């Protein structure tokens, strides 16, 4: 028997290859209720994952035994009854520990990523294991996979076209003029999942957070392929320039919305980057957009996956800044209506309503606020994991512990990602209607991000003064005549929603 986890749903998990199942190997899928009992997930996420698993089981028909069990171990005992089982390398330390501890289960290599873990470990060791940089890794992957290359040179002679990207949003419109993203249509399997979730909640067995509207993300391979095609044909061309911009009325802009499909294993990253490169070679999308998208997948996604394993299971407990504050209830409950700061209110509402928001709101609105408030990085990681449709342990731990909360003290990034309101103002239309003013540090209209930024630098000034990327603003602290007021104001703010 071959066991498929709920994030191993695409055809590339069933091809023979190294340790893959034969064409007629019986398959096993286990829906373990304890997973949903352990954590308070976003309902849209629970719905998507269960819908995708059950759709896959329906496609595989008699070949699969689909077990509803309390735990994985119970499901396996019931279905495999002592027979040998194979499984592809799971995507979390916990799941890997479990399958390795089970008798008669043999674990094959991971699938769904471009670089084998052993190759990455060799590359990282070669680079000294510390001071690893995504840019170096990304170039290595581009070369190794012949992605956007002309011979041994990067296409058009440039590795990095960030310079042409990262524009502020157009000021004269509330929405980008770009084709709408693919949205699936629900079917009877979605209905059945929704009924089950209602019943579990009614029985008091499981609690969810967030709203469960119509399913917004693909649950099948066919839907995911349609989403990929729609993106490459109609939306990729404008991906690059506005990658980092935010518009209140257009949360998706030109983003691909493919993360949940990639992380469920419905799409293989290789096909995504190849299709994007194909669009550029056919003259259908400019290089800055295509390079930006390829960098996200072959660079960032791949890098994050590799670091999760390379840094090991203890990395999640990193807390270099010694942040220990718990998350307040309004945040945990996604109570956007309690918040007055327009950027946070808007973004938290996006998460509450869809379980998704793009990279910059995650980093520079949500993560930045958590960092400025000094919330415990493990609690912040758990919150992101539960509340996002694309959240899995492997992708959340480096993104939150490393990139967003700087809890690893700089192993993953060169500086903490946080800013005052001026950044949000420049990169969005969110500050115009806000009750706070990005330029104000103190007083009734003080922007919580601007005040929070200086208070954060102040609290960690000793450590940050040694970091050349933030040393300058740290030096500016000495010139702030109102620093004592900022401190007092931030202490008084406590846990209240900004
Ligand atoms: P696009 O902007 O269209 O990018 C294309 C693809 O690149 C994405 O689909 C994704 O697969 C990949 N990608 C880009 N950046 C990253 C990254 N840093 N890590 C992993 N993949 C990346 N991404 C997740 O898939 N799951 C998460 O749980 C997750 N948590 C995040 C938490 C924080 C605090 C931050 C700052 C980022 C997080 N990301 C996560 C990365 C990124 O925000 C999302 O992948 C992206 O917003 C998903 O939307 P999209 O598919 O439209 O992405």
Residue 261 in contact with ligand 1 by CB distance below 6 A = no
Q: What is the mean pLDDT of the chain?
A: 95
- Cβ(289) to ligand 1 under 6 A? no
- C-beta of 388 in contact with ligand 1 (< 6 A): yes
Ligand 1 neighbour 442 (Cβ under 6 A): no
Q: Is the per-residue pLDDT at 128 higher than 80?
A: no
Q: What is the mean pLDDT of residues 100-112?
A: 93
* β-pair partners for 106: 86
Write the pLDDT tens digit of every residue in 378-399: 999 999 999 999 999 999 999 9
Taking residues 84-95, what's their average pLDDT? 96
Q: What is the pLDDT of residue 205?
A: 86
Q: Which CATH architecture has domain 323-493?
A: Orthogonal Bundle (1.10)
* Structure tokens that stand for 472 in this block: 């300058």
Residue 436 in contact with ligand 1 by CB distance below 6 A: no
> What spacing in Å lies between the alpha carbon of 455 and ligand 1's midpoint?
28
Token digits of residue 292: 């930006």
Minimum CA distance residue for ligand 1 atom 48:
259
C-alpha 167, offset from chain centre: 22
Is residue 369 lining ligand 1, measured as CB closer than 6 Å?
A: no
Our mutation pick for probing the ligand 1 site, out of 224, 252, 257, 259, counting the most ligand atoms within 8 A of Cβ, is 259
Tell me, using a 6 A CB cutoff, whether residue 255 lines ligand 1: yes
pLDDT band at 20 (very low <50, low <70, confident <90, very high): confident
The string of DSSP codes covering 401-454 is IIIIT-TTSSSS-SS-----HHHHHHHBSSSTT-SSBTT-SSSTTB-HHHHHHH
Q: Is the dihedral of CA 209, 212, 218, 220 positive or negative?
A: positive
What's the confidence (pLDDT) of residue 182?
97
Q: Which CATH architecture has domain 2-108?
A: 3-Layer(aba) Sandwich (3.40)
pTM beyond cutoff 0.75: yes
* pLDDT at residue number 129: 67
Quick one: pLDDT band at residue 15, thresholds 50, 70, 90? confident
Mutational test site, ligand 1, from 399, 400, 418, max ligand atoms within 8 Å of CB = 399
User: Which pLDDT tens digit goes with each residue over 459-485?
Assistant: 999 999 999 999 999 999 999 999 999
395 Cβ below 6 A of ligand 1: yes
- Alpha carbons within 13 A on the beta-carbon side of 487: 10
Using H for helix, E for strand and C for coil, what is the string for 353-391? HHCCCCHHHHHHHHHHHHHHHCECHHHHHHHHHHHCCCC
pLDDT digits 0-9 by tens, 199-239: 999 999 899 999 988 999 999 999 999 999 999 999 999 99
CATH topology of domain 117-182+218-311: 1.25.40
pLDDT for res 275: 98
Q: Is there an atom of ligand 1 within 6 Å of 259 CB?
A: yes
pLDDT of residue 73: 92
Please indicate whether residue 405, judged by its CB atom, sits closer than 6 Å to ligand 1.
Answer: no
Give the Å distance between the CA of 256 and the centre of ligand 1. Answer: 10
pLDDT (0 to 100) of residue 347: 98
For ligand 1, whether the C-beta of 391 sits within 6 Å is yes
164 pLDDT more than 90: no
**How many Å lie between the centroid of ligand 1 and the Cα of residue 385?**
12
pLDDT for the residue numbered 252? 97
Spans of all domains in the chain: 2-108, 117-182+218-311, 323-493
- Of all protein residues, the one whose alpha carbon is nearest to atom 9 of ligand 1 is 259
């Amino acid at each position: 028997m071959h066991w498929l986890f709920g994030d191993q749903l695409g055809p590339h998990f069933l091809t023979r290859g190294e340790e893959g199942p034969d064409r007629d190997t019986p398959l096993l899928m286990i829906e373990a209720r304890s997973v949903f009992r352990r954590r308070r997930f976003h309902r849209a996420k629970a719905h998507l994952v269960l819908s995708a698993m059950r759709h896959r089981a329906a496609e595989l028909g008699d070949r699969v035994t689909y077990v509803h069990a309390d735990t994985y171990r119970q499901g396996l005992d019931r279905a495999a009854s002592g027979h040998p089982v194979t499984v592809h390398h799971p995507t979390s330390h916990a799941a890997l520990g479990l399958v390795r501890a089970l008798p008669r289960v043999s674990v094959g290599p991971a699938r769904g990523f471009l670089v084998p873990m052993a190759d990455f470990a060799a590359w990282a060791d070669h680079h000294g294991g510390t001071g690893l940089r995504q840019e170096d890794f990304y170039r290595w992957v581009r070369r190794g996979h012949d992605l956007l290359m002309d011979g041994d040179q990067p296409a058009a002679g440039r590795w990095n076209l960030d310079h042409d990207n990262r524009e502020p949003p157009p000021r004269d419109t509330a929405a980008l003029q770009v084709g709408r993203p693919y949205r699936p249509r629900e079917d009877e399997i979605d209905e059945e999942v929704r009924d089950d979730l209602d019943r579990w909640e009614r029985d008091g067995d499981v609690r969810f957070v967030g709203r469960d509207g119509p399913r917004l993300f693909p649950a099948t391979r066919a839907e995911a392929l349609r989403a990929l095609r729609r993106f490459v044909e109609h939306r990729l061309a404008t991906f690059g320039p506005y990658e980092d911009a935010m518009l209140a009325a257009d949360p998706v802009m030109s983003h691909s919305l493919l993360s949940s499909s990639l992380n469920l294993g419905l799409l293989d990253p290789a096909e995504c980057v190849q299709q994007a490169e194909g669009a550029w070679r056919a003259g259908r999308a400019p290089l800055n957009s295509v390079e930006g998208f390829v960098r996200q997948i072959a660079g960032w996604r791949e890098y994050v996956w590799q670091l999760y394993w390379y840094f090991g299971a203890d990395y999640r407990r990193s807390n270099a800044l010694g942040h220990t504050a718990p998350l307040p209830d309004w945040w945990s409950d996604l109570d956007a209506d309690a918040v007055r700061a327009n950027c946070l209110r808007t973004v938290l509402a996006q998460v509450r309503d869809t379980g998704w928001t793009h990279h910059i709101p995650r980093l520079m609105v949500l993560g930045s606020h958590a960092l400025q408030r000094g919330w415990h990085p493990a609690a912040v990681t758990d919150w992101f994991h539960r509340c996002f449709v694309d959240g899995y342990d492997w992708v959340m731990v480096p993104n939150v512990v490393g990139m967003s909360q700087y809890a690893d003290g700089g192993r993953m990034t060169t500086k903490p990602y946080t800013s005052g309101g001026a950044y949000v103002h420049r990169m969005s239309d969110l500050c115009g209607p806000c009750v706070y003013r990005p330029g104000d540090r103190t007083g009734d209209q003080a922007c919580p991000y601007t005040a929070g930024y200086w208070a954060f630098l102040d609290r960690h000034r000793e450590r940050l003064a040694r970091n050349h990327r933030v040393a300058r603003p740290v030096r500016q602290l000495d010139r702030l005549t109102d620093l004592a007021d900022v401190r007092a104001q931030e202490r008084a703010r406590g846990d209240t929603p900004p």
